[in-house]
């Protein structure tokens, strides 16, 4: 990375933590100057700051970046390249980063966790004899498809989606797993989830704990995101098949990334040499 600018690493994910570890290890400048690293990590919550214990606070920006703030953000932090390692479902920040990269002529690379292999599409039947492995485009399809009626459903879709299921609270028994944060808890309560049907845990979650939770709540189906290995999608598939629970996965939103990889080595090389790689 040129000393005249910094890499903007859009983080908040486990993969971004892996990338930071690799970048710090591969950058002699980073090791010499901990108060101003050649990259800036952005996260949306203070809790996500804990993903990067080896990085000084001055190199982690916490907040929700908006379109109105974008140009000033690029200028004030002297951003020279963008490595987008945000969550696959955090499309707002990806769209904003792509627009900023194009407007300012900055190299951009999207690092996104790989989709599960074809074995993830292996069918099974749940305890009611229905298809147990269901992939739908979005949460709206779950609601319009009447999937929630009469079911004991665990939702692990993030707190921002919970308001959509509020009208269905009387149609089935709904449970929510959320991050342990005040906004997430407030959103769950506002969506009609009672305290006994909310669990706040920060991933990763072990398979035994996941399985025990489903059994304790007598879950008949789980609605989750197709978030790949890093999001525990493979673990949920295995537990669902074992317990006869219907697993409804929401497909990743489509985004037209100008450059994309699922290889950590490629993303690390871009972070260390973004200008030469773009050129």
pLDDT tens figures, 56-74: 877 899 999 999 999 999 9
Q: Residue 39: what pLDDT?
A: 87
The answer to whether residues 274 and 246 belong to one domain is no
Percentage of the residues of the chain whose pLDDT score is greater than 70: 90
Q: Whole-number mean pLDDT of the chain?
A: 89
* pLDDT above 60 (res 253): yes
The answer to whether residues 103 and 172 belong to one domain is no
Q: Residue 117: what pLDDT?
A: 64
Beta strands, E only, 21-139: 39-43, 60-62, 79-84, 108-111, 133-136
How much is the average pLDDT of 26-41? 60
| Residue 30 tokens, joined | 């980073």
The residues, any chain, with a CB within 8 Å of residue 138's CB and separated by 6 or more, are 250, 251, 253
In a domain, 138, yes or no: yes
Q: Residue 176: what pLDDT?
A: 98
The answer to whether residues 134 and 246 belong to one domain is yes
Q: Residue 55: what pLDDT?
A: 85
Indicate the range of 91-105, 124-138, 179-193, 226-240 predicted with least confidence. Answer: 226-240
How much is the average pLDDT of 161-179? 96
**Neighbouring C-alpha atoms within 13 Å toward the C-beta of 254:** 2
In a domain, 193, yes or no: yes
Report d(CA 60, CA 8) in Å as an integer.
10
The CATH number of the domain holding residue 90 is 3.40.50.2030
The answer to whether residues 143 and 202 belong to one domain is yes
Decide: 82 and 108 in contact? Cβ < 8 Å.
yes
Put simply, whether the predicted model's pTM sits higher than 0.75 gets the answer: yes
CB-count exposure of residue 227 (10 Å: 0-12, 13-18, 19+): buried
How much is the average pLDDT of 192-203? 94
The answer to whether residues 105 and 11 belong to one domain is yes
Q: Output phi, psi for 111, to 5 deg.
A: -100, 120
* pLDDT above 90 (res 142): yes
In a domain, 1, yes or no: no
Report d(CA 170, CA 18) in Å as an integer.
42
The answer to whether residues 127 and 241 belong to one domain is yes
The answer to whether residues 135 and 224 belong to one domain is yes
Q: Output phi, psi for 138, to 5 deg.
A: -160, 170
The CATH number of the domain holding residue 208 is 3.90.180.10
- Residue 39's DSSP bridge partners are 7
Report d(CA 23, CA 17) in Å as an integer.
10
The answer to whether residues 33 and 137 belong to one domain is no
The answer to whether residues 148 and 220 belong to one domain is yes
How much is the average pLDDT of 239-252? 95
In a domain, 63, yes or no: yes
Beta strands, E only, the chain: 6-10, 39-43, 60-62, 79-84, 108-111, 133-136, 152-156, 173-178, 198-200, 221-225, 246-250, 260-261
Report d(CA 121, CA 117) in Å as an integer.
8
Indicate the range of 29-43, 136-150, 193-207 predicted with least confidence. Answer: 29-43
* pLDDT above 90 (res 133): yes
The answer to whether residues 122 and 223 belong to one domain is yes
* pLDDT above 80 (res 207): yes
- The more confidently predicted of residues 251 and 24 is 251
The answer to whether residues 237 and 178 belong to one domain is yes
Categorize the per-residue pLDDT at 166 as very low, low, confident or very high, splitting at 50, 70 and 90: very high
Report d(CA 38, CA 239) in Å as an integer.
42
Query: Using the 8-state DSSP alphabet, how is residue 33 labeled?
Result: -
| Residue 207 tokens, joined | 């398979």
Structural domain for 212, as ranges: 118-250
CB-count exposure of residue 200 (10 Å: 0-12, 13-18, 19+): middle
Number of domains in the chain: 2
The answer to whether residues 102 and 166 belong to one domain is no
In a domain, 10, yes or no: yes
* pLDDT above 50 (res 34): no
């Amino acid at each position: 990375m040129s000393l005249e600018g910094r890499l903007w690493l859009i983080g908040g994910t486990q993969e971004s933590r892996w990338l930071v570890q690799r970048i710090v290890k591969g950058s002699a400048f980073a090791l010499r100057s901990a108060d101003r690293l050649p990259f800036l990590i952005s996260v949306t919550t203070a809790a996500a700051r804990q993903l990067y214990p080896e990085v000084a606070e001055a190199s982690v920006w916490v907040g929700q970046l908006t379109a109105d703030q974008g140009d000033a953000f690029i200028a004030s932090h002297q951003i020279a390249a963008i490595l987008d390692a945000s969550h696959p479902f955090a499309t707002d920040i990806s769209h904003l980063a792509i627009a900023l990269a194009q407007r300012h002529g900055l190299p951009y690379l999207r690092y996104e966790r790989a989709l599960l292999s074809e074995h993830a599409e292996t069918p099974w039947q749940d305890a009611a004899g229905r298809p147990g492995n269901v992939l739908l485009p979005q949460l709206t399809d779950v609601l319009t498809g009447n999937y929630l009626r009469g079911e004991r459903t665990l939702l692990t879709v993030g707190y921002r989606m919970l308001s959509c299921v509020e009208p269905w609270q009387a149609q089935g028994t709904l449970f929510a797993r959320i991050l342990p944060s005040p906004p997430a808890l407030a959103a769950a309560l506002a969506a009609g989830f009672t305290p006994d049907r909310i669990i706040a845990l920060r991933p990763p979650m072990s398979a035994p704990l996941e399985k025990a939770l489903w059994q304790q709540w007598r879950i008949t189906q789980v609605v989750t995101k197709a978030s790949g290995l890093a999001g525990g999608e493979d673990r949920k598939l295995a537990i669902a098949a074992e317990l006869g629970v219907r697993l409804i996965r929401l497909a990743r939103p489509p985004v037209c990334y100008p450059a994309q990889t699922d290889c950590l080595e490629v993303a690390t090389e871009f972070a260390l040499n973004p200008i030469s790689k773009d050129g």
